[in-house]
Structure 1
Amino acid sequence: MLTKATFSKTRERGFLDGQFLIAMPGMADTNFARTVVYICAHSSDGAMGFVLNRPQTLTFPDLLRHLNIVEDGEIIRLPPMVREFQIQTGGPVETGRGFVLHSDDYMSESSIPVSDDICLTATLDIVRAISSGDGPQRAMMMLGYAGWASGQLEAEIAGNGWLTCPAAEDMIFDRDCAAKYDRALATLGVTPAMLSMEAGHA
């Protein structure tokens, strides 16, 4: 369960806070094959983050209807940027729960700072704000998240499951999901063809 304590400034912070994980070609877990994951919290207790390049088939208008925030007849009047707001599969944990990563120009009582510029909100207030055009300037909605128990992620990295690199805010909110994997690798100066299951991690 994610709480404010997960992101507390007084908690022990791990070396993977604010990093991207880039799945290696040998990734056996189909939930993470060819994924880029943004790590929001890492400590000796474990880690959590969000997959950034798995778009959902569920549309934002469908979600608004499901939550009874708008009626069917109101969908056509939504601004294009609201109708086209992208929803991602954030990971295999709590897949029925929604989370919004967003710029810090929007804050509510339930918003949690993840970094100096990025916050996380998991309540309906931000969904309503986005639907009315009053939401953050930059945002990405996730259903579910990725979580690792104590020492699990470190073991996966040591076992050549992931490459790591500093997170790029532009890539977090970029809608071009199909290109994110190759672009994340490019920040390390590599391409998928250069990787092998035997290579070490960056």
Structure 2
Amino acid sequence: MALILPTTIRGFHDYFKLTAIPEELVVAFGYHFEAETLTLPLAPEPLPWLAELSVRLDFAFRHVGMSSETPRREFLIAPVLGEVARHVDAQVRSELDVRVSGQLKGALDYLLQAQGNLLVIEAKQADLTRGFSQLCAELIAVDQWTDSTVNTLYGAVSVGDIWRFGMLERTEKRITQDLGLFSIPTNTECLVRTLISILRGEA
């Protein structure tokens, strides 16, 4: 049975509350869905600030309570995005209000833009699967809202120590969920280099 979307929502977070899996949500909006291992490039240049970032993240893990979404955003996600944005001179928008229709509206946790390339970040306290459903709705909204001409939009859902990427190919109207996960602090360098490459349009 096909998923019946609500006629209107209060915000994108309503899609996190649905029990629908990402594929059902994507198909209900008229897009295609795939789950596969994405091959994302890694920025090759030296990153002298990476060591300091790792120290900050390590401190957060050891000394900051992570019982809600807010500290995860402020101490684990925002520091990563801030350093990446500084490195590639990206614009960062937080709590950006996007309104396309009654079904596609709400605030994006983070939207990063550099050279026309867009990256949507959804921060959650837990549950990557439902978080990815929310990310899918946000990517579809950005697809219809942005005036960027790039064909591929990227996004990631993060609970702070775990990140999962997805991409929306606009011409094909297809969202692909990456089967791989980035774990922090184990994969911090790979995550950072991937984010840089995405914002440069190298992915």
Q: TM-score, normalising length from structure 2?
A: 0.26
Greater gyration radius: 1
Could you say which structure has the higher helix fraction?
2
Q: TM-score, normalising length from structure 1?
A: 0.26
